[in-house]
Every structure is written in structure tokens, then in C-alpha cells.
């Protein structure tokens, strides 16, 4: 399984907003500069993060982006769920009818177990955990 740039960059942008929250709303161009991301791609990611309820925009001269909820309330599984089409090691895990061998395929069981492990780990982690890791306090 390889996460797309949507998840990787989206989490970086979300973490950037969280890390600079005490400075007020974060401007898109500041995230672009610090994270070295394409502005147009970041705009798309921010829209997804907004639709997922993770960030909100503040308009006006002192506007920008802020977290819509506490970092400890933002589960990484939820963020990736908004940014990715699916999160599984093989298509047959979430759609067993895709494969005619699904009843006899032991590897499908393996992919399912590994997918569950990844999902459970992401469900146990929050944006606050990433903040701690970034600051070296955990």
C-alpha cells in the first residue's frame, strides 16, 4: 500500500496549521513556502480538509486557515479517509466480489488483517500525536 500525495501533503499542511496556530490564522502561501508544495495542489487539499471538518477559513485582512477542532480530536484515520479514495492493501479487501477466488483465497485474509492493522494504528493516532513527535516531546 502506498498513500498518495493527497494524504502525505494533506497531513503536512494540517500539521503546519496546527504548529503555527498560536500565531493566528495561517496563510496558504506560508504553508506553500514552509512545506514546499504547489499552491494549486494545496488549494485542492485545503478544500478537502475543509469539507472533512478539519480546518476552516477566516476571511479578511488577518484571515487564513485555522483548525476546526482540537488536534486531539482529529484522528489520522479520519483525515486520510477524507483524502484517499480507499485505504486497503488490495481491492478485494473492501470489495470481495471483485475476485472470483475470494472464498478460497488465503492471501485476501492476509491483506485484510494487514489493512485492519494499519487502520487501527491510524485510528489510535491524532494530530496531537504528530505535534508531539514534531516537537520531540513524545
Question: How many whole angstroms separate alpha carbon 90 and alpha carbon 88?
Answer: 6
How many domains does the chain divide into? 1
Domain-embedded: residue 111: no
The whole-number pLDDT of residue 101 equals 80
Domain-embedded: residue 114: no
Domain-embedded: residue 96: no
Task: Judge if pTM exceeds 0.75.
Answer: yes
Q: Is residue 20 predicted with pLDDT exceeding 90?
A: yes
The whole-number pLDDT of residue 1 equals 66
The whole-number pLDDT of residue 5 equals 94
Average pLDDT value for residue range 54-76: 94
Domain-embedded: residue 108: no
CB 58 within 8 A of CB 65: yes
C-alpha dist (Å) from residue 56 to 66, 68, 92, 113, 131: 6, 5, 36, 35, 19
Dihedrals phi, psi of 32, to nearest 5 degrees: -55, -45
Average pLDDT value for residue range 55-74: 94
Domain-embedded: residue 67: yes
Task: Return mean pLDDT, the chain.
Answer: 92
Least confident piece of the model among 24-33, 39-48, 49-58, 104-113: 104-113
Domain-embedded: residue 110: no
The whole-number pLDDT of residue 138 equals 60
Domain extent, residue 37, equals: 5-85+127-135
Question: How many whole angstroms separate alpha carbon 64 and alpha carbon 59?
Answer: 7
The whole-number pLDDT of residue 53 equals 97
CATH number of the domain to which 41 belongs? 1.10.10.10
Average pLDDT value for residue range 26-48: 96
Question: How many whole angstroms separate alpha carbon 75 and alpha carbon 137?
Answer: 19
The whole-number pLDDT of residue 83 equals 95
Domain-embedded: residue 97: no
Contacts of residue 122, defined as CB under 8 A and 6 or more positions apart, other chains included, come to 75, 76, 77, 80, 87
Amino acid at each position: 500500500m502506498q498513500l498518495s500525495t493527497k494524504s502525505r501533503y494533506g497531513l503536512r499542511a494540517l500539521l503546519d496549521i496546527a504548529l503555527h496556530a498560536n500565531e493566528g490564522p495561517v496563510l496558504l502561501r506560508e504553508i506553500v513556502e514552509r512545506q514546499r508544495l504547489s499552491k494549486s495542489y494545496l488549494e485542492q487539499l485545503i478544500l478537502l480538509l475543509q469539507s472533512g471538518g478539519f480546518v476552516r477559513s477566516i476571511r479578511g485582512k488577518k484571515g487564513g486557515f485555522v483548525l476546526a477542532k482540537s488536534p486531539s480530536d482529529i484522528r489520522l484515520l479520519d483525515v486520510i479517509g477524507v483524502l484517499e479514495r480507499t485505504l486497503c492493501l488490495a481491492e478485494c479487501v473492501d470489495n470481495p466480489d471483485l475476485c472470483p477466488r475470494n472464498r478460497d483465497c488465503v492471501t485476501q485474509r492476509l491483506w485484510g488483517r494487514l489493512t485492519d492493522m494499519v487502520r487501527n494504528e491510524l485510528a489510535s493516532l491524532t494530530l496531537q500525536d504528530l505535534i508531539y513527535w514534531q516537537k520531540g516531546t513524545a
